[in-house]
A and B are shown apart, each in its own frame.
Chain A
Amino acid sequence: MKGEVFNLLEQYLVEHAGPELCEQIHAKAAPELEYKGPHIGPGTYEDRDFFTILKETVSALGISADAAALAFGKYCFPKLAARFGDRMRDYHNTREFLLVIQDVIHVEVKKLMSGARPPNFYYVDQTEDSLTMIYDSERNLHCFAEGLFYGCAAYFGETIEVKKELLAYQGRKCCIFTLTFGRP
C-alpha cells in the first residue's frame, strides 16, 4: 500500500482521536510492523502494516473494523480528490465520476505513484440513477470502498444508497455494489 494511504490514516487519527492516542496506536502496533520509520507519500509499504495499524485503531477506539474502514474511506475521498486538482472539474456528479475510476482515475494513480496497486472495478449494469459495479481486490477493503462512495457523493452534494453483496468468485472475495443516486 502507498505511503499516501498510511499518511491519510495517521492524519485521520490525529484529527479524530488526537495526537496522543495516535501515538499510542502507533506505539502499540510498532512491534508487529515490518517498517517502523515514518511513512512518506511516494513510498510503498507492506499491506500487512496497514492492517496492523487498522487493527490497533479498532481496539483503541472500540469500534468494528468495518466501521473504521468505512469512516476512513469517507474521510479520504476529498483528500484524494484534491490530488487531482482542476481535473476534478471534468466530472459533474457521483455516477459520472464512478464510471471513470477504473479507466481514468486509478490509471492516473498508477502513472503518478510508482508501485501503486489500486483495486479493480467492473461495471455490470447502469441506469440513469443507479450503477452496479464489482469491487475486486486481494485486500478485500470493501468497507473502505463503501466509505469512499459516501465521501464521493458528499463531495458532489448528492445522496447515495449503497447495497453490498459479498461473494467468492474463483476463490477470490469480491463485492457487488449496487449504488442508487439521489439529489436532495
Chain B
Amino acid sequence: MSTPADSIPIPVERLSRELAREKERVRLLEEMVESKTRELYEEKQLLSSTHESLQRVIETLPSAVIVTDGELIITQINSRATQIFGIEPSLFLGKSILGTLKREWFASERYGSDSAIAKEAEAEVQYHHPISGNLMPLALSVRPLFSAQQEFRGMVYMFTDLSARKGLERDLLQAQKLESIGRLAAGIAHELNTPAQYVRDNMLFLGDAFGGFEKIIRALQGLKSAVESNGDLAAAIRHIEEVEKVIDFDYLLEEVPEAICQTIDGAQHVARIVKSMKVFAHPGAPKKSHADLNNLIDSTVTISRNEWKYVAEVETKLEADLPTIMCLAGELSQVFLNLIINAAHSIEDRVKRGEYEKGKITISTHLAGRDIEILVADNGCGVPDNIKHKLFEPFFTTKGVGRGTGQGLSFCYSCVVDKHGGKISFDSQTGVGTTFKVTLPTGH
C-alpha cells in the first residue's frame, strides 16, 4: 500500500522558499510596526508641543480665557483668569463651567450648549472679586468651537477687564461736559455780568447816598450842640432843612432800601448761577446718589438761559414733592440741557423764518405710578417723518458746523436707558412742535 505521502513528492525546496518568504514578511511587518510606533511617538510629541505653544499664546492674552469641551467641562484656562477671578486654575479644570463663577453667564438658555444653538455672544457682566472685594466690569465674548467637519467641540469664553476703559469713558464724558460748559461759558458770563452791573451801580448810588446821610448827621450834630449850649436852635433847624433839600432826603429814604434789596437780589442771582454750574462741573461721581429732579431742572434752566432767552420763554411746571431718585445727577443735567438746547434751536429756526417773535419751551415733571415723567415740549419746527428713526443715532445732526455734533440725543439715550433703566421718546409734528418724554424709575 502506498500512502499519499509516498505518491506525491513533498516539494521541500519550494516549501522552504515559501517559509523564507513568510519569515521575511514577518520581519518586514515588525519593522513596519516599529516605525509606525516611532511615527506615532513623534506625532504625539508634536501634538503636545503644539498644545503647549497654544497654551503659551493663550497666556499672552490680556484677557481671561476659559475653554471648555462640548459638555462645557473646562479644559483650559489662562493665568489672567486666575488674576481676574482670584481663583486657582485647579478649581476650574475638569469642572463644568456652569458650576463655576456665575451660572447665568453661561447658562445654556443664554448661549446654548449644544451644536444646534451654540452661538456667538457678547455681554457686559459684573464680577465681585473674592479677595479685593472690588466690583469689576467685564466684557464677555463667547465663541463656539467647531471641528473642521463643523462638529460642535466646545466653547471659548473671553473676559476682558473693562475697569480701565470705564475710567477712560468717564474722562471722555467729563471732557464732553467741559466742552458744553465752554459753550455755555460765554452765555453765563453775560448772565453774571447783568447782576454784577447793577450791584455796582447800586453800590455807587449807596456811596453817594452815604455822603448825603453824612451831611444830615453833621447837621443833626449841629442841632445837638446848639441844644446843649443854648445856642441858636432856629438856625440849626434851618440848616437841617437846607441840607435835606440839597441831598433830596425823601428820595434817598425811598431809594436806598430799594437799592439794598436789589443788590442782595443781584448777589443771590450770581450765587444761584454759580451753584448751578457746580452741578455740571462736578466730576460725574460714578456712583449714583439721591437727587431732586426739580432742582436739577431748575439749575439747568438757569445756566442755559442765554441759549434760549432771545428766542423763547421757558415755563416750568414742576410737580411739588416728587420723590428723590438715585441717579447720576451730573449726567441727567446734561440730558435736560441737551433737550432744552435742541428745543431752543428748533424754535430759533421758526423765529428766523419770521413765523413768530418768541416761542415757548415748557418743562414739566410729574409722578406716573412708580416713575417720574419729565416732558420737554417746544413749539418749534418739529421733526420731519423721514428722519424720525435716526434721531438717537450717534452723530446724526441736521445742524450746521459749530451748532450741533449729533451726539446730544445719543448721549441722552445711553444715559436714560442704559444707565438709569429709563425710557426716552418723542412726539413731533412739523410746524407744530416736539415733546420729548423722559421716564425715570423712582425705584420705590
Q: Which of A19, A40, A43 counts the most B-chain CB atoms under 10 A from its CB?
A: A40
A38 lies within 8 A of B21 (CB): yes
- Across the interface, do A40 and B14 meet the contact criterion of CB distance under 8 Å? no
- With a CB–CB cut-off of 8 A, which chain A residues contact B32? 40, 42-43
Cα A38 to Cα B29 in complex, Å, equals 11
Contacting A at CB under 8 A, from B1-44, are 11, 14, 17-18, 21-22, 24-25, 28-29, 32
Quick check: A38 and B14 within 8 Å, CB to CB?
A: no
Count of chain A to chain B residue pairs whose CB atoms are closer than 8 Å in the complex = 22
Please, which residues of chain A bring their CB within 8 A of the CB of B24?
37-38
CB–CB A40/B29 < 8 A:
yes
Interface residues of A, dominant DSSP: loop
Number of A residues, CB within 8 Å of B: 8
User: Which residues, 36 to 92 on A, are CB-close (under 8 Å) to B?
Assistant: 37-38, 40, 42-43
- For A10, give the chain B residue with the smallest CB separation: B21
Q: List CB contacts (< 8 Å) of A1-51 with chain B.
A: 19-20, 23, 37-38, 40, 42-43
On whether A20 and B14 interact (CB within 8 A), knowing A40-B29, A43-B28, the answer reads: yes
Task: Give chain B interface residues in 257-276, CB to chain A under 8 Å.
Answer: none
Instruction: List chain B residues, Cβ under 8 A from A43.
Output: 28, 32
Query: Which B residues lie within 8 Å of A37 (CB)?
Result: 24, 28
The CA of A20 and the CA of B18, in the complex, are separated in Å by: 11
Specify which chain B residues have a CB less than 8 angstroms from the CB of A23 in the assembled complex: 14, 17
Residues of A contacting B11 with CB < 8 Å?
A: 19-20
Distance, CA A42 to CA B33, complexed state (A) = 10
Complex alpha-carbon distance, A20 and B9, angstroms: 13
| Residues of chain A lying within 8 A (CB to CB) of residue B14 | 19-20, 23
Contacts of B17 in A (CB 8 A): 23
Contacts of B25 in A (CB 8 A): 38, 40
CA distance A23 to B14 in the complex (A): 9
Q: How far is the CA of A40 from the CA of B29 in the complex (A)?
A: 7
Query: How distant is the Cα of A38 from the Cα of B22 in the complex, in angstroms?
Result: 8
Closest Cβ of chain A to B302, distance in Å, is 80
A107 to B82, CA, bound (A): 45
Q: How far is the CB of B402 from the nearest CB of chain A, in Å?
A: 69
Residues of B within 8 A of A42 (CB): 29, 32
- Smallest CB–CB gap between A11 and chain B, Å? 13
The chain B residue sitting closest to A37, CB to CB, is B24
- Cβ contacts under 8 Å, B18 to chain A: 19
Least CB distance from A4 to B in Å reads: 13
CA distance A40 to B18 in the complex (A): 14
Distance in Å from the Cβ of B244 to the closest Cβ of chain A? 123
Q: Which of A37, A38, A43 has the most CB of B within 10 A?
A: A38
Closest to B26 in A: A40
Name the residue on A nearest B24 (C-beta).
A38
Residue of A nearest to B18 (CB): A19
State in angstroms the CA–CA spacing of A29 and B14 once bound together.
18
CA distance A43 to B24 in the complex (A): 13
Residues of B within 8 A of A20 (CB): 11, 14
Nearest B residue to A114, CB-CB: B36
A38→B32 CA distance, assembly (Å): 14
Q: List 20 A-B contacts (CB under 8 A).
A: A19-B11, A19-B14, A19-B18, A20-B11, A20-B14, A23-B14, A23-B17, A37-B24, A37-B28, A38-B21, A38-B22, A38-B24, A38-B25, A38-B28, A40-B29, A40-B32, A42-B29, A42-B32, A43-B28, A43-B32
List the 10 shortest-distance A-B pairs measured between CB atoms, nearest first: A38-B21, A38-B25, A40-B28, A38-B24, A40-B25, A40-B29, A37-B24, A42-B32, A19-B14, A23-B14
Besides A19-B11, A42-B32, 11 more A-B contacts (Cβ < 8 Å) are A19-B14, A20-B11, A20-B14, A37-B28, A38-B21, A38-B22, A38-B24, A38-B28, A40-B25, A40-B29, A43-B28
